[in-house]
Structure 1
Amino acid sequence: MPSTTAQRAGRRRGPRRFTPRDLAVLGVLLGIPILLDIAIVWGPTLASVVLSFTNWDGIGDIEWVGTDNYTNLFTNYPVFWPAVRHNLLWLAFLGCLATPFGLLLAVLIDKGVRFSRFYQSTLYMPVVLSLAVVGFIAQLVFSRDQGALNAVLGDTRTPTDWLGDPDLNIWMILIAAAWRHTGYVMILYLAGLKAVDRSLKEAAAIDGASETQTFFRVVLPTLRPVNIIVRVITVIESLRAFDIVYAVNHGRNGLEVLSVLVTDNIIGEASRIGFGSAIAVVLLGVSLAFVVTYLVQELRGEKNR
């Protein structure tokens, strides 16, 4: 009798075999998201790559032109290189100013300053707004004739055209985009700081480390996973910038970015789907170059440690 009971218990503890019903459920739960991902993300991506080598207006026959679209893009399209420069400037501004400022705010709030919940909610509030809404708010603030900034500065006789001057408008839009990005970064770093083991800080204090030394040598290294997320998000946000510039002036007169060029060529008045797809492929390549290079470096750093 005991041996029979032991055998039954051993059978129960053995590896469980999936029944046909289990496999069907797993197939549905995994298959549907994979199919949606292929249909919504990878399908259009591969289609754009193929169409970038063609000349097609969306209605007539598709004409294979090889690399002509890329040649024209790099040599005969005057707004392409300014758009690339603006996207890189966007990346540098968010990465070098907005992201460190968001980290600073997270550190200050994590220390438990008075009204920290109020500051946290207020600084995070712009994140719930879309970039298009941020663009409309930027118009209210930086408008030449009725903008709040000129009213505060008292510049009424010769008001500064903050959004109309191509030498100024990109910086005004970057400030508006950074206003939203800072709150997003702050929340991510604040969540990471809450997860830091306080015993590490106490041990550093016992060893005589100052608050600054403790942060850079103890706390910041533990935020490595958050750093990866923040930097990848910063790259993606910078290179796919569209809503805010399109809301201000449709991405023209100094606010040209790659995503606007894609839209103008694919669904603009003169539909050039092949040419617009070539710009989209360049944007995809630049995004992947930044993200993959950074992730490879991070993974190598993890292995070396």
Structure 2
Amino acid sequence: MTSQEVSDMFKAFLAGGVAGCCAKTMIAPLDRVKILLQAQNEHYRHLSVASSITAVVKKEGFWGLYKGNGAMMIRIFPYGAIQFVSYERYKKMALSWLGQDSHVARLMAGSLAGVTAVLFTYPLDMIRARLAFQVSGEHIYTGIIHTFHSIWHQEGKMKGFYRGFIPTFMGMIPYAGIAFYTYETGKRIALDHGPKFVSKPSPSQPDVKVLTTPCNLFVGGVAGAIAQTVSYPLDVARRKMQLGHMLANSHQFGNWMQVLLIVYQRHGLRKGLYRGLSINYVRAIPSVAVSFTVYEFMKQLLNIQPKNNSL
């Protein structure tokens, strides 16, 4: 690997981390409510999304909407950085093996990037979920360090931090693969066949076209919506397994398939496996859109725009 490639990788790492933090900070309140609804928190499970947001503010104050966000920021910077850097590397390898126009290569690169990122950052996602599920007056954990210490000593050390990893792993394969593939495909179509107003010259490389910010946000939003719809039931299973003994019936959740079956039997498809999907659209669509858009902006700012129109 040349010094230029190392420099570009470091810049891509920084760009991906910043993109992830911007995206997650924007939708942190919706993330908190999504966790409460997904896991059927007794204080909020009977409420709608809007009513839950109001109830959280009333019960826990405005900053209650950001509970667990500290752990999220600690997690999301390396997550976003690893995901985007690994996608660039996996895509380069896959395209060299399968051909420059291979759709399978782009799907594969996105899936592998998502799995790689989640593998390294999953314990922080576990901690964040535990903190976000708590409500004022019923705290089990006092903060990130206490949560880490409790899980380590009470739930099997490192094994405890990967509870629910299998549904996360399986959900990430279609989610990341579809998100990256849909975004890149939409981007290429817009740049190659779209009207002139959807693109502009790159600030750092005038001979290279890039999408305008509104078009970037639109393409990213579509990618996020499609990816979330496909993978959402596995996200529900992941959250319930992550929360573990914080849920009254956690002893019944032996594995992710049992979680899916129990949730479906008790609550059905719409109110069980897709419970909270509406808020997930509201949070995931802008989150993915902002993530891709900020990443593209950072690539241009740091002068790491590729010589072609691929991501």
The interval holding the TM-score normalised by the smaller chain is: 0.3 to 0.5
Larger radius of gyration between Structure 1 and Structure 2: 1
TM-score by length of 1: 0.34
TM-score by length of 2: 0.33
